[in-house]
Amino acid sequence: MQMTLTINGQGHSVDAPAAALLVEVLRDDLGLTGTHIGCDTSQCGACNVLIDGAAVKACTMLAAQAQGARITTIEGLGTPEALHPMQQAFREAHGLQCGFCTPGMVMAGMEMVRKHGTKLTPELVTHELEGNLCRCTGYINIVKAIVAGAAAMESLGEAPHA
Contact, 85 vs 92, CB < 8 A? Answer: no
Contact, 27 vs 75, CB < 8 A? Answer: no
What CATH architecture is 2-76? Roll (3.10)
User: Does pLDDT of 162 surpass 60?
Assistant: no
Q: Tell me the β-bridge partners of 15.
A: 2
pLDDT tier for residue 159 given thresholds of 50, 70 and 90: low
Q: What is the pLDDT of residue 68?
A: 94
pLDDT tier for residue 161 given thresholds of 50, 70 and 90: very low
Separation of alpha carbons 56 and 48, rounded Å: 5
Q: What is the pLDDT of residue 158?
A: 76
| 14: enclosing H helix or E strand | strand 10-15
Domain residue extents for the chain: 2-76, 85-155
Strands (E), 23-132: 48-51, 54-57, 70-72
**13-25, pLDDT tens digit by residue?**
999 999 999 999 9
Average pLDDT value for residue range 110-128? 95
According to the CATH classification, is domain 85-155 in 1.10.150.120?
yes
Q: What's the Rg (C-alpha) of the chain? A: 15
